[in-house]
Structure 1
Amino acid sequence: MSTIFASLAVASQTTKLGTETSSDYGPGFLGFLFTAVMVVAVIFLIRDMARRVRRVRYTSEAESKQQDMVAKGESRTLQEPEGPADPKTDEAQ
């Protein structure tokens, strides 16, 4: 058992354990900068993905409502105006 302690004492004296400075290890500023850029990129990607998923969901809901209306036999006819309309008075000319 004493040989283990003796070898640890010799190893600690030769490797100088506990004398490291903060600049001896760690990613440093470059690692922080890379991580920050990755976080910002992921935030923008998640926002874009949520927007696209929402758009797909609304499109599928509109299509299903349209298919339901067709199945029920309802039809909406678009009434086109007879002439140009004045946007200031909302009257047909």
Structure 2
Amino acid sequence: MNFIQAKEIALKELTEISNYLGEKCIFFKTYEVKDKGWVFSYNTEEYLLKQNYSHALAGNHPMFVTLDGKLKYINLEEYDKLFENTWTKVIVE
């Protein structure tokens, strides 16, 4: 599994979320976590690009795609634990 494959998995999920909400969602922060996978944070395009707070998602958890291609949502405790004792790299596209 590489970043491009992981992003495809996350994008498929993001498309489903966008379709369900009836509003386009986009990634705003992506991290590679060494030897574990990739974290994708997202929100609505309207909120992220125009700061329209009435379109902000509340309580959404980041997506995590593991090295073996499994997608799961991680809460704050899991998020903190994921980054313990390892390096991360912010991915800018």
TM bucket, shorter chain: under 0.3
Q: Which structure's residues are more often strand, by fraction?
A: 2
From the CA coordinates, give the structure whose radius of gyration is larger.
1
Structure of greater relative contact order (alpha carbons < 8 Å, 6+ residues apart): 2
TM-score by length of 2: 0.22
Q: Which structure's residues are more often helix, by fraction?
A: 1
